[in-house]
Structure formats: C-alpha cells, structure tokens
Amino acid sequence: MTLRGKEFPEDFLWGGAVAAHQLEGGYDEGGKGLSAADVTTLGGNGVPRKITDGIDPNEYYPNHRAIDFYHRYPEDVKLFAEMGFKCFRTSIAWTRIFPNGDETEPNEAGLEFYDKLFDECLKYNIEPIVTLSHFEMPLHLIKEYGGWRDRRVIGFFMNFAQVCFERYQDKVKYWMTFNEINNQTNFETDGSIFNNSGIVPKPGENRENLMYQAAHYELVASAQAVKLGHEINPKLMIGSMIAMTPIYPLTSKPEDVLFAQRAMQTRFWFSDVHANGFYPKWLLNHFKKHNFDMDITAQDLKDLREGTVDYIGFSYYMSFAVKDTGKLEYNEEHDLVENPYVKASDWGWQVDPVGLRYSLNWFNDRYHLPLFIVENGLGAVDKLTDDKKVHDDYRIEYLTNHIREMKKAVLEDGVDLIGYTPWGCIDLIAASTGQMSKRYGFIYVDENDDGSGSLDRYRKDSFYWFQNVIKTNGSEIE
C-alpha cells in the first residue's frame, strides 16, 4: 500500500501542545499562588535545574515570565488558527484556581482566565484539550503536606478537578489527569519526583518506596476524577498521560529480552492501573520482596476499578535500550544503554520514528483503547535570520518521519488514534533544562535563556509545512 493520497480520518484532531507553567508567565498575577515550577531555576544541557526553598532573589526562574502567553494569548491563538489547528492542548495551572491548593473556594480570577482562553480557541473552532496536573503542583501543598506523600492531597486534587469539570464541561471534552505520571520511574533524579509529585526526599528515606506511594495516591486521585467527571457529564473523555519511551532489548539474547520486558513493566505499570483498574501481580510481589510500606486500602482498589480511563494520551520523543544486568529489576538511572541503530538529538534523546509505530501497536494490543499522541517533537537550536525567518528543515524532517509511521499505524495496522498534537507548538521553556534555546515550536519566540529578547513571534518554515499537513489531512506524507 502506498501512503500518498491516503488521508487520516476526517475528524482527526491535528493541533499542538503546551503546558501552563512553560508558557503563561504571569506567575503572581490574577491571584495565582506559587507552584513547583515557580521555584525551579534555569539549568542547561546536562545541567540539572535547582529547586529552591521559596523564591531566592539571587536566582533566575524562567517560568515566571515564560513567553508571556498570559497576556499575549489572543495573538498566539490567532497564529494557531492560521496554521489550521483543530485542537490545542494546554494545562490548567492548579495555583490559578486554588492558589494554595487547600482552600475550599476557588479563585474566580483564575477561572476567568481559562474561560477567556478557551473561548478564544473556540472562536476559531479550535477544541481545547486539558491536562489537570502538569508539573505545577501548589508549593503550599509541597511545604505543608510533603506533596503526594500525603493522602489528604487526593481530596485537594478532587476539589480542583471538580471545579474544572463543572466550569468547563461545555468547552472541553478531552481531559487528562496527570502529565507523564510515569516520568518518576527515575526516582533518583530530584527534579522528576519533585515535578511529578512534589516530593523532596529526606536523607535516608527510601526513594523508590516514596515514589510508589505517591504514584498510588495519584492513581487513586485520577480514578476518582474519571468517575466524578463522568457523573458531572457523561460526554467527557478522561484519559491518562503516559511518557512513552519503548525499551528495546539490545540483542535477541533471551535474558536481554526478558530484562527489557521487565523494564517495560516497570515503566508502564502506571498505564496498566489506569486502563485495567488493578495492580499487576509482579509489582505487588516487588512491594513485598522489598518490604515497602504501602498504604493501599480496599476502598482505593475499588476506586481504581471504577475509574478506568477512556483513552490513553501519551508523549513520544525517543526510545531506550537495555541489556541484562543479572537481576530482574530495572533501574532507569543506571540500566539504559546506547542503541547503535538510532541517532540522538543534541540533547541526547534517541530519535526513533519507527518506535512510534511500535508504541501505537503496543498500546493498542495491551489496552484496546483509543490513543492520542499528545506530545512529539524535536528540541533543537534555531537561528533567526536577519530577515526574520527560521529554516528549520531538521524539525520538518523529524515530524515528517514520525507522521509517516503514525500514518502506517492508523491506515495499515488499524490503530484507533484520536489526534496528534506536537509539543511546544510555540517556543516555550523546556521542562528538563529551563532553556528557551531548546526549541520545539512552529512559531519562534524572540527570547534568550536569560530572559532577554523582544518576545516577538515569527513563523518558522515548519509553520507553513504543518499548515499544509493539516490542510491536506496528512495525504501528502508518503
């Protein structure tokens, strides 16, 4: 079968994705409280971002202003419309709605901001797609409750979810509960458990146990939110959001294959619980083997069963590889090896378009649910020319190669795919490094890593390219 001339389904959701803290700025406007992102400093390529205890006036926090979307969103949404977006994925900053997280009444100014943003999208028939929690937990919940290590946070999250579902049910159909909930499998990295779960480990604490406990509370909160969302409005589609990085065995040696399987189980038990509604047995055995102290009640297990997700949303940037280590336990910090068959980006992410087709089939076989690629893209350095152009052919190439594999998965393999929203459709602050110079966008934002720059927006070459992909519904990708 040739791909040329073949189209995606008519209602396929082409669009772009961002997260509140990475582009809004206005970190202390409209009554907003401080979030985890507001105390995370600038890092660099290979240099981790620091997490400070409150705001230190001697540090630079790139998310405080970000790209000032908070004030410029009408101009930006207009550019998305010009590209032909059918949808736009963003998150609702929890701290705009509940500045501390544990209030009983929401902050009306925060709610109004998202009303205006969603209305602006709907004006152009762009459907908003919303993540509830995207690395932006209220700092107060981190300081007072220790983040997701505390069961009470489930209740606070539910207040937030309820207010959002009730308020925006007629504007937003597709929701996701926790962004990349499985990107804390690398629990030894401070940033990953802080961003995901607001956890600052104490000296001597068992980080793995902490991560599993926090993830359990998040999964219970997610399941309760799915159930409540459906009670509020049965039309809502509430999904998971998983960081999909397929993990291949480096060779066909059976021990390598078995180890890769365990690595996949360790990274994707989160979506197992989301979709199946129960814990995989190997993981319960793992908890026992390590004598982990896990607070899992009978009511939690009931909630998990009753709140399974409607679809699997996932990000896809890269694939991993592993080889047998002699013990069947996967440690993400130490066990990854270089895959000789794929090339890495400038930030060391192993670029693998075929892995996207593999991932779509893997999810499809495992869960039999609709899928939604809610992030994909290439972080790269762009150069604005004197005549204000950006010739980002490397980005066009990356995305073309991924869309081609996605097209095969849909048209040849029969995967049920809702849509495709490339990450950082407008340049924004990178999550891992805090840099502006790690760019993903179709729209260039004139801003440097230190925050200098005019913030003016320019269309890159990829802007016109993606505009045509949407206009032709992918039919020209072959």
One DSSP character per residue, 349-411 reads -EE-HHHHHHHHHHHHHHH---EEEEEE---B-----TTS----HHHHHHHHHHHHHHHHHHH
Select 364 or 376, whichever has its Cβ closest to ligand P53: 376
Q: How far is the CB of 478 from ligand P53 (least distance, A)?
A: 28
Select 63 or 107, whichever has its Cβ closest to ligand P53: 63
Stretch in the footprint of ligand P53 (CB under 6 A) among 118-126, 176-184, 325-333, 442-450: 176-184
- Residues 301-340 within binding reach of ligand P53 (CB under 6 A): 315, 317
Specify the residue for token string 């959002």. 164
Q: How far is the CB of 281 from ligand P53 (least distance, A)?
A: 28
Q: How far is the CB of 316 from ligand P53 (least distance, A)?
A: 9
For the window 8-27, what string marks contact with ligand P53 as x by the rule CB under 6 A? -----------x--x-----
- Residues 57-116 within binding reach of ligand P53 (CB under 6 A): none
From CA 121, how far away is CA 168, in angstroms rounded?
13
User: How far, in whole angstroms, is CA 254 from its chain's centroid?
Assistant: 33
Q: How far is the CB of 422 from ligand P53 (least distance, A)?
A: 11
**Applying CB under 6 A, which of residues 38, 127, 335, 375 lies at the interface with ligand P53?**
375
Q: Are strands 237-244 and 247-249 parallel, antiparallel or unpaired?
A: unpaired
For the window 409-448, what string marks contact with ligand P53 as x by the rule CB under 6 A? --------------x------xxxx----x----------
From CA 197, how far away is CA 217, in angstroms rounded?
10
For the window 269-308, what string marks contact with ligand P53 as x by the rule CB under 6 A? ----------------------------------------
From CA 26, how far away is CA 110, in angstroms rounded?
11
From CA 376, how far away is CA 399, in angstroms rounded?
8
Q: CB within 8 A of 187, min separation 6: which ones?
A: 193, 207, 208, 210, 211
375 is catalytic: yes
Number of residues near ligand P53 (by CB under 6 A): 16
Q: How far is the CB of 423 from ligand P53 (least distance, A)?
A: 5
CA 343 vs CA 339, 352, 353, 424: distances in Å: 8, 8, 11, 22
Query: Is 37 a binder of ligand P53 (CB under 6 A)?
Result: no
180 is catalytic: yes
Query: Is 180 a binder of ligand P53 (CB under 6 A)?
Result: yes
Beta bridge partners of 159: none
Specify the residue for token string 């180890």. 259
CA 449 vs CA 185, 190, 381, 427, 433: distances in Å: 28, 22, 12, 12, 10
Q: Which of 120, 127, 136, 180 is catalytic?
A: 180
From CA 387, how far away is CA 405, in angstroms rounded?
35
Query: Is 243 a binder of ligand P53 (CB under 6 A)?
Result: yes
Q: Which of 218, 375, 405, 447 is catalytic?
A: 375
> Which amino acid is it at 331?
N
**Applying CB under 6 A, which of residues 183, 185, 308, 350 lies at the interface with ligand P53?**
183
Residues annotated as catalytic are 180, 375
Residues making contact with ligand P53 (CB under 6 A) = 19, 22, 179-180, 183, 243, 315, 317, 375, 379, 423, 430-433, 438
